[in-house]
A and B are shown apart, each in its own frame.
Chain A
Amino acid sequence: MIDSKSPYFNPEHEAMSREQIETLQLERLKATVRHCLTNEFYQKKFAEAGITADDIQTLADVRKLPFTTKQDLRDTYPFGMACVPLRDCVRLHSSSGTTGNPTVILHTQRDLDEWANQVARNLWMVGLRPDDVFQNSSGYGMFTGGLGFQYGAERLGMLTVPAAAGNSLRQIKFIKDFGTTAIHAIPSYVTRLYEVMRQEGVDPRRDTKLKVLAIGAEPHSEEQRQRIEQMMGVKAYNSFGMSEMCGPGVGFECPEQNGLHFWEDYYIVEIVNPDTLEPVADGEIGELVLTTLCREAMPLLRYRTRDLTRVLGRSCPCGRNHIRLDRMRGRSDDMIVLRGVNIFPIQIEKILMKFPEVGTNYLITLTTEDNNDQMTVEVEVNEGTDDFAKLQGLEKEIRHQLGDEILLKPRVRLVAKGALPVSEGKAVRVVDKRKVYQ
């Protein structure tokens, strides 16, 4: 049992000096590399790169290792990157496979334990204790934000309510009846929850015991966070996770709210120029590259997250010396993250191409309206018609089929042929006007 007054959930790891962190990292990196080399995929990769486990002598040697990518996960689908026998795995999470093969991430029991520990560490860091009531208003199932926070909150010892996403009236009833003190949700859902509270005459300051919000899985700006804090009257902490690493837990803000601490006892963090793949200086924006240090089932070496961020520092008034990264500033590929859902433009293209009535040119515009992120898909009408019902039916059918594909229904706008910009070379398919990356 940890002393409730301790600022740390894992004092032995959270309060390490830089030197201690780096010594542990090197030790764990060597073990991870050896573990990876039991797998054929990594054996081949190392052979191609002309390196062996012995080439890793210092922490900087991590740069000798080959990168891994989402494409590697797809190419080895489903179990090609497993580094333990399947009988040792107890959990599988998969992303949607709409852009090719899905990706599969396997977990041993120890992987799940370590994952829960990271989440518990984060929640403890922002002041949550076993007396708290944690309502997880996040999607469950394959989305790791559900089970990840569930197990983490339970690990900390909180009464944990798997409320899942949606049904705001029920959520509000739970918050009031169970004395919920902390909620995890994607930022746009918190906004939605607040709107419903207002309609129902519920004042979160007066009528609830809320004290902490954990928000993540959806890009949001500092301004959005502050708006959420003002609305709900509590602190909202930014959470970073990705299913490839485990899920949520990888990075989290401390009470200083000066960037996200990425847990360097679990990961080696690199920021590289996405074009040259060379490291960038601290403070400069580049692509986040993560190497797992504690994963058994599927360790990943130098995984290119495609998320853009920068190093803010390696010390913090909170006492932790784990690297601090800025909130994500965008993507180095064309993936769109909207309301917690990952979408690639190619998925939208694939659906549009099924409709001979529309052309091959299209434009996806992302906007923020009333604190909600919206997607509008504009597409050019190819064939004339004398029938309005046909046009309206076409809009509706495209919207419906897109909804099935990307799991949220965008607005569909029919535009005249030639109305959309045609750029030289690679077409601009996505215009992001959200108040997020600015």
Chain B
Amino acid sequence: MTINQLSIFIENRSGTLIKVLEALKEAKIQIIASTIADTAEYGIYRLICSEPTRACECLKKAGVAVALSDVFAIELDNEPGCAADAVQAFSAAGISITYMYSFLLGGKGILVFRTDDNAHAADVIAKAGLRGIDESALTGMA
């Protein structure tokens, strides 16, 4: 139910994002999903990609401040209300979502998120019958 995510420190200054993307391009890493969260001065660029471990190494070599971590990923049916039901399960358990984003994989919506209580969140996913996906679901995407 978890997948690898790269978290990259970027500044709100032109040239910082392209440096990251060029490094990934050079290493022939495919980006599957990505999102930028920003504050006034800097941001965290989060991305799901092919070969995350190798991608992380390449970025480090390119002088990028990057961290590799696990985030929850669940698959949702393409129907209205699915996201609400999923998040409701966490809300009922008193767990907060720290951040969340989504992408499409083979026609299904994938919800990626982190919570403030990851150990407990894994139980909720299992008990609520949510369909977690693993890193293996992403291989072959690239």
Name A's B-contacting residues (CB within 8 A): 380-386, 388, 391, 413-419
Binding site for A on B (CB under 8 A): 5-11, 13, 16, 19, 37, 39, 41-42, 44, 46, 63-67, 69, 71, 114
Q: How far is B40's CA from A413's CA once the two chains are assembled, in angstroms?
A: 11
A-B contact pairs, 25 of them (CB 8 A): A383-B67, A384-B7, A384-B8, A385-B7, A385-B9, A385-B67, A386-B5, A386-B46, A386-B67, A386-B71, A388-B37, A388-B39, A391-B42, A414-B9, A415-B11, A415-B42, A416-B9, A416-B10, A416-B16, A416-B19, A416-B42, A416-B65, A417-B9, A417-B65, A418-B19
Q: Which residue of A lies closest to B5 (CB)?
A: A386
**Docked pose: A156 CA to B100 CA in angstroms:** 71
Identify A384's interface contact among B11, B41, B66, CB under 8 A. Answer: B66
Quick one: given A384-B8, A384-B9, A386-B7, are A417 and B64 in contact (CB under 8 Å)? Answer: yes
CB-CB under 8 A for A413 and B41, given A384-B66, A419-B13, A419-B16: yes
Asked if residues A418 and B9 are in contact (CB atoms below 8 Å), the reply is no
Residues in A with CB closer than 8 Å to B7 are 384-386
**What A residues does B9 contact at CB under 8 A?**
381, 384-385, 391, 414, 416-417
| Complex-state Cα separation, A415 to B44, whole angstroms | 12
Interchain CA distance A171-B108 in the complex, whole Å: 68
Q: Which residue of B lies closest to A383 (CB)?
A: B65
- The answer on a CB contact under 8 Å between A381 and B44 is no
When A and B form their complex, which 10 residue pairs have the shortest distance between CB atoms, in order from nearest? A384-B67, A386-B7, A384-B66, A384-B65, A416-B11, A381-B65, A381-B9, A417-B63, A416-B16, A418-B63
C-alpha gap A416/B7 in the complex (Å): 13
Question: Given the complex of chains A and B, what is the CA–CA distance between A381 and B41 in angstroms?
Answer: 13
Of listed A382, A416, A417, A418, residue having the most chain B CB within 10 A: A416
Residues of B within 8 A of A391 (CB): 9, 42, 44
The distance in angstroms between the C-alpha atoms of A414 and B42, with both chains bound, is: 7
Could you say which residues of chain A place their CB within 8 Å of the CB of B5? 386
Give the docked Cα–Cα distance between A416 and B19 (Å): 11
- A391 → chain B, closest Cβ, in Å? 7
Closest partner residue, chain A, to B9 (CB atom):
A381
- For residue B134, give the distance in angstroms from its CB to the closest CB of chain A: 19
Q: With A and B bound together, what is the CA distance between A418 and B69 in angstroms?
A: 23
Tell me the nearest residue of chain A to B66, going by C-beta: A384
- Chain B residue numbers with a CB within 8 Å of A383 are 65, 67
What residues of B have a CB within 8 angstroms of the CB of A419 in the complex? 11, 13, 16
Chain A residue contacts of B114, Cβ below 8 A: 386
- With A384-B8, A416-B64, A419-B13 known, 8 other A-B pairs at CB within 8 A are A381-B9, A381-B65, A384-B65, A384-B66, A384-B67, A385-B67, A415-B13, A417-B9
Which residues of chain A come closer than 8 Å to B65, judged between CB atoms?
380-384, 416-417
Contacts of A417 in B (CB 8 A): 9, 63-65
Q: In whole angstroms, what is the CA distance A418 to B46 when docked?
A: 20
**Distance of A415 Cα from B5 Cα, bound (Å):** 22
Residues in A with CB closer than 8 Å to B66 are 384
Q: What's the Cα separation between A382 and B41 when bound, in Å?
A: 16
User: In the complex, what's the smallest C-beta–C-beta distance from A358 to chain B, in angstroms?
Assistant: 10
| Closest chain A residue, CB of each to CB of B67 | A384
Q: How far is the CA of A314 from the CA of B113 in the complex (A)?
A: 75
Min Cβ gap A322→B in Å is 50
B6 to chain A: closest residue by CB? A384
Q: Is the CB of A386 within 8 A of B41?
A: no
- In the assembled complex, the CB of B62 is this many whole angstroms from the nearest CB of chain A, namely 9
What distance in Å separates the Cβ of A363 from its nearest Cβ neighbour in chain B?
13
Bound-state CA distance A381–B60 (Å) is 12
B84 to chain A, nearest CB (A): 25
List the A side residues contacting B19 at CB < 8 Å: 416, 418
- Complex Cα–Cα for A416 and B65 (A): 7
Chain B neighbourhood of A416, CB < 8 A: 9-11, 13, 16, 19, 42, 64-65
Which residues in B have their C-beta under 8 angstroms from that of A388?
Answer: 37, 39, 44
> In the complex, A417 Cα to B59 Cα: how many Å?
11
Say whether B44 contacts A386, CB under 8 Å. Answer: yes
* Cβ–Cβ < 8 Å partners of A415 in chain B: 11, 13, 42
Query: Shortest distance in angstroms between A361's beta carbon and chain B's nearest beta carbon?
Result: 11
Inter-chain contacts of A386 with B (CB < 8 A) = 5, 7, 44, 46, 67, 69, 71, 114
On chain B, the residues within 8 Å of A381 by CB distance are: 9, 42, 65
Within 8 Å CB of B67, what residues of A? 383-386
In the assembled complex, the CB of A410 is this many whole angstroms from the nearest CB of chain B, namely 15
Neighbouring B residues of A382 by C-beta, 8 Å: 65
Q: How far is the CA of A419 from the CA of B114 in the complex (A)?
A: 29
